[in-house]
A and B are shown apart, each in its own frame.
Chain A
Amino acid sequence: MNKISTATTGFSEGMGAGWGRAVAPGALAVVLALLLAACATPAPRDAGTQSADDETERAGEGDRAREPDTRERESIPGAALNLARQAESARQAGDTARAEQRLERALRIAPRDAGLWHQMAALRLEQEHYEQAERLAGRSLQMSAGRDRDLALKNWRLILRAREAQGDAAGAAEAREEIRRLESDVV
């Protein structure tokens, strides 16, 4: 269930506003439940916006990062969510090939979902493809763009493991620093 919740909480920044309607009622219920669960965890903060210059003019309607707004957190289609769930059960059953196929399908449906990218990274780590794991986690971080601290922590922990496995001491130290920063950044 853990994996699935990340798939939902990492929302995408650019999907059309018509998405909510498109989601089947069943999937919507799941999504809502998971969103509620996500809200129970500390609200994500983005380090990048803290130092915003007061003279700065921002394009766009508002600062999404400081005030997470569920209206903007468009859910990913239920279909991708289900595939992610199937991928997770396949992984648990040791069928990484199947898990990979399901995740790739899910990513084709929801290519901006940070949670899916993280799940793919975790799978690659399990397959001991460390370099890929690291890059995919990086992509996940990029997709969540600092809006989901929990997911960011998971990604950095994954990057840490991947770098350790590759014997990248400097990279691992950097990852530890990021993790420390994120852990101390409790709201």
Chain B
Amino acid sequence: MPRKPSRRPRKQSAPRRGRVRRLFGAGGWTLAGLLLAAVAVGGVYVHQLDREIRERFEGQRWALPARVYARPLELYAGSPLTVDALETELRALNYRETKDGAGPGEFHVRGDDVRLTTRPFMFGDGPEPAHSVRVQLANGRVQSVAEQSSGRDVDLMRVEPLLIGSIYPTHGEDRILVDIDEVPRELIGALLAIEDRRFMSHRGIDPVGIARAALANLKAGRTVQGGSTLTQQLVKNFYLTRDQTLTRKLNEAVMALLLEHRYDKREILEAYLNEVFLGQTGERAIHGFGQAARFYYQRPLNELRLDQLAVLVGLARGASYYDPRRFPERATQRRDRVLKAMAETGLADRERVNRALETALDVSPVMPEGRSRFPAFLDLVRRELRADYADEDLRSDGLRIFTTMDPVVQMRLEERLVRGVDDLVQRRGEGTDLDGLQAAAVVTDPQAGEVLGVVGDRNPRYAGYNRAVEAQRQVGSVIKPFVYLAALTNPDRYTLATLLDDSSLTLQLPHGEPWTPRNFDQEHHGSVTAWEALVQSHNVATVRLAEDIGITQVISLLQTLGLQRTPAPLPSLALGAIELSPLEVAGLYQALANGGYATGTRVIREVLDQDDDVLSHYGLSLQGAVSDRSVRLLTHALHDVTREGTGRRIDARLNGQIVAGKTGTTNNFRDSWFAGFDDRHVAVVWLGMDDNRPTGLTGGVSAAPVWAEIMEGLGVQSLHLEGHPGIDYQRIDLASGLRVKGDDHACESVKMLPFWQNSSPETRAECDLGSDSGRQGWFERLFR
């Protein structure tokens, strides 16, 4: 056993002293001196290699990428879920559809009845064991969750979260560490059988193996076998450069001996299993069997079949040469050799091996170029992480990042946005130039501001300019609800029935130049109720209202609701002369969907370190609030926008389901927006050209239908507008803004409007002919 000379016990060398003297005689001292010097030099050399080995083996061995996960799907009786959404989620997780869904990562659907078996997963708040359950769904909800075996109800469980991306070390190595006890015994057996049969008995170098390989190579006249042990291969991968020099060979041998001396076989084998290079895609290098299983089969190692394990084992010899995607024939031959070796060594019985030999290679298609299926979301995650983490830590510390993404929402959003925009381009195609029309969208959850899905490009796979986050575009009328909200927070002065003047207006701007806002239809509408001005998006009336409240009040409200900057207090702000990203718009609308409480938008829930300890928890936080009642009144009007206002295409599309929102169109049709919400989603859609070219599209005809398309895909959950104890409804004559009682009136247009208690107009409209009882009809009135 090689030991460092300095550590050799003196006692052993003492009896030899006489022999040495006799051997060298008088001049032997010189020789002895030279020998000693050689031993000393060798000692230093070996000592250095030894230190190198220990530093690498005992420190953090690998730079591990950060893993970014979607939110886990929670299953419980009552959870809003459809069979379709559940299946989408399971397929995204690469679950296999089988006859009974009884094995890990398997599912089975029959009507409203889904059987599935999850995999165990470690969350920040503890482990979630594997569950094998039967989930019954109906009417868009989970009706029951019960264990498959016992039929016992499961109160609450989580499916393991979807891995949505990784943040790789700069050298591009990607690995999932495996514990040797988790590795299938067959894989280890096959590896030893094919690579190093005497692994358990040699001490790092295998002279028998070298001799056998040399003989085989001599016979063949070329290199057909290698004589390196697994230990040598590990050393080669772990410590040395790839050049083939004699020094390197010597280092390799000495280090292999040292490694075996210092560490036991289990540790060496485990290191090998995690280190070995098994594939490459772009700049990403696949190391270790844990990652290889994901990379080639998209499943954890312990779920692979015998033939799949054999493919991976075969790759250890040469991952590029035996690449099953590029060279399926070679890979199959190599696999079959591994399988036969397993049969020879008795690791697997003939029958299983024969079955495995019959099986076709079934590697999954390689991931598309780029590093995530969801580049825009991952980009947003990285931006948020940068605030708290150094880039190097993200690339090397094996952090696990739990995000708010709902994979089903994300996928539906992508699908529907693409479809909606394609339809639009097709519909409007004639005579318009919509080449290069771009799109971005954000969906968040109203209550906590969690970002559920993000698309930053019309091609959602494109990992470039993330318009949802980076694009700063004028928002147009999307801002108007906040002007009206600022008004409604003062119920003594403003209600939805307050009359606003929409007649021609010219304002002197601070710099002296005059500004004359115009309505979209280039007409003026005289006196209009605030309700109508908002629903029909009249510009002039809105500017007057903002002037009346004071534009600084509007700014202050926007800041309460999460706006991070202070725009110049110009009257044009009331018409949306401010540049925001779709994500920022979603942040502002969040508060409208959340009873006036601003939450901001969140994409990360938690960051865990390698030991599963929570490094950061980004908790629920309410950042500001405006009165609930004013938000409720506003929401009524925003619902009417989608029914009879500029966004009326939405109502037809969504079959009368109750949603609320606002269109936005900027000067010369450069930007088309729709921002709105239902009970469970806030969604913002932007359409436009990167170079600011006019599109000729209004928010109402373009972004609104795309928004409806998306909401339909997500499954609309209607808002609950009615039943607030503090809200009364009044019929209002829209011409005068005064009340109308009963059905009996001659008013041209009457609208039922909500009012905060006691704030509705007292005065009756002149066109209201009804008596106090309100039950008299036109016949009675004839004789009055």
Contacts of B155 in A (CB 8 A): 24, 27, 78-79, 82
Given A48-B725, A56-B730, A78-B155: A19 in contact with B125 (beta carbons within 8 A):
no
Contacts of B156 in A (CB 8 A): 79, 82-83, 109
The distance from the CB of A91 to the nearest CB of chain B, in whole angstroms, is 14
* A94 beta carbon closer than 8 Å to chain B: no
Q: How large is the interface on A (under 10, 10 to 19, 20 to 34, 35 or more residues)?
A: 35 or more
Complex CA distance for A58 and B752, rounded to whole angstroms: 10
Complex CA distance for A65 and B722, rounded to whole angstroms: 13
**Contact of B725 (CB < 8 Å), options: A21, A49, A132:** A49
Are A101 and B597 within 8 A (Cβ)?
A: no
Complex CA distance for A49 and B448, rounded to whole angstroms: 30
Contacts of B729 in A (CB 8 A): 56-59
Are B728 and A24 within 8 A (Cβ)?
A: no
Tally inter-chain residue pairs, CB-CB below 8 A.
Answer: 133
Q: Scan residues 5-64 of chain A and give those whose CB is less than 8 A from a CB of chain B.
A: 13-14, 16, 18-19, 21-27, 46, 48-49, 51-53, 55-60, 63-64
Which single residue of chain B is at the shortest CB-CB distance from A14? B720
* A139 beta carbon closer than 8 Å to chain B: yes
Are A100 and B617 within 8 A (Cβ)?
A: yes
Q: Which of B73-81, B238-246, B273-281 is the contact stretch?
A: B73-81
Are A138 and B625 within 8 A (Cβ)?
A: yes
* A169 beta carbon closer than 8 Å to chain B: no
Q: Scan residues 60-74 of chain A and give those whose CB is less than 8 A from a CB of chain B.
A: 60, 63-65
Q: Scan residues 102-145 of chain A and give those whose CB is less than 8 A from a CB of chain B.
A: 102, 104-105, 107-109, 111, 120, 132, 135-136, 138-139, 142-143, 145
Complex CA distance for A31 and B251, rounded to whole angstroms: 71
Contacts of B77 in A (CB 8 A): 22-24, 27, 77-79
* A146 beta carbon closer than 8 Å to chain B: yes
Q: Scan residues 87-133 of chain B and give those whose CB is less than 8 A from a CB of chain A.
A: 124-125
The distance from the CB of A28 to the nearest CB of chain B, in whole angstroms, is 10
Contacts of B725 in A (CB 8 A): 46, 48-49, 63-65, 145-147
Are B621 and A78 within 8 A (Cβ)?
A: no
Contacts of B124 in A (CB 8 A): 101
Are B720 and A142 within 8 A (Cβ)?
A: no
Are A48 and B141 within 8 A (Cβ)?
A: no
Contacts of A83 in B (CB 8 A): 156
* B514 beta carbon closer than 8 Å to chain A: no
* B153 beta carbon closer than 8 Å to chain A: yes
* A154 beta carbon closer than 8 Å to chain B: no
* B447 beta carbon closer than 8 Å to chain A: yes
* A176 beta carbon closer than 8 Å to chain B: no
* A98 beta carbon closer than 8 Å to chain B: yes
Which single residue of chain B is at the shortest CB-CB distance from A22? B78
Q: Scan B706-744; emit 1 where CB is below 8 A from any A CB, else 0.
A: 000000000000001011111011110000000001000
Q: Scan residues 428-475 of chain B and give those whose CB is less than 8 A from a CB of chain A.
A: 446-448
Given A78-B155, A97-B614: A111 in contact with B447 (beta carbons within 8 A):
yes
Given A64-B725, A79-B78, A97-B617: A13 in contact with B720 (beta carbons within 8 A):
yes
Are A24 and B153 within 8 A (Cβ)?
A: yes
Complex CA distance for A85 and B175, rounded to whole angstroms: 39
Q: Scan residues 22-73 of chain B and give those whose CB is less than 8 A from a CB of chain A.
A: none
Are A56 and B726 within 8 A (Cβ)?
A: no
The distance from the CB of A84 to the nearest CB of chain B, in whole angstroms, is 12
Contacts of B726 in A (CB 8 A): 48-49, 145-146
**Chain A interface, DSSP helix/strand/loop, else mixed:** helix
Are B731 and A104 within 8 A (Cβ)?
A: no
Complex CA distance for A97 and B616, rounded to whole angstroms: 11
Are B447 and A56 within 8 A (Cβ)?
A: no
The distance from the CB of B289 to the nearest CB of chain A, in whole angstroms, is 33
Contacts of A23 in B (CB 8 A): 77-78
Complex CA distance for A84 and B130, rounded to whole angstroms: 23
Complex CA distance for A55 and B726, rounded to whole angstroms: 15
The distance from the CB of B592 to the nearest CB of chain A, in whole angstroms, is 14
Contacts of B754 in A (CB 8 A): 59
**Contact of B144 (CB < 8 Å), options: A24, A97, A108:** A24
Complex CA distance for A82 and B722, rounded to whole angstroms: 30
Which single residue of chain A is at the shortest CB-CB distance from B627? A142
* B757 beta carbon closer than 8 Å to chain A: yes
The distance from the CB of A31 to the nearest CB of chain B, in whole angstroms, is 12
Are A18 and B752 within 8 A (Cβ)?
A: no
* B628 beta carbon closer than 8 Å to chain A: yes
Contacts of B597 in A (CB 8 A): 135, 138-139, 142
Are B622 and A136 within 8 A (Cβ)?
A: yes
**Contact of A52 (CB < 8 Å), options: B76, B138, B752, B757:** B757
Are B79 and A109 within 8 A (Cβ)?
A: yes
Q: Scan residues 133-173 of chain B and give those whose CB is less than 8 A from a CB of chain A.
A: 138-139, 141-144, 153, 155-156
Are A132 and B728 within 8 A (Cβ)?
A: no
The distance from the CB of B643 to the nearest CB of chain A, in whole angstroms, is 15
Complex CA distance for A145 and B727, rounded to whole angstroms: 11
Contacts of A19 in B (CB 8 A): 78
Are A51 and B758 within 8 A (Cβ)?
A: yes
Contacts of B760 in A (CB 8 A): 53, 56
Are A107 and B447 within 8 A (Cβ)?
A: yes
Given A60-B723, A104-B619, A136-B622: A52 in contact with B728 (beta carbons within 8 A):
yes
Complex CA distance for A109 and B139, rounded to whole angstroms: 17
Are A18 and B139 within 8 A (Cβ)?
A: yes
Contacts of A146 in B (CB 8 A): 725-726
* B679 beta carbon closer than 8 Å to chain A: yes
A-B contact pairs, 7 of them (CB 8 A): A57-B730, A77-B76, A78-B77, A97-B614, A98-B125, A120-B620, A142-B595
Known: A22-B143, A108-B74, A145-B724. 8 other contacts (CB 8 A): A14-B720, A21-B143, A26-B153, A53-B760, A58-B729, A77-B79, A104-B448, A109-B156
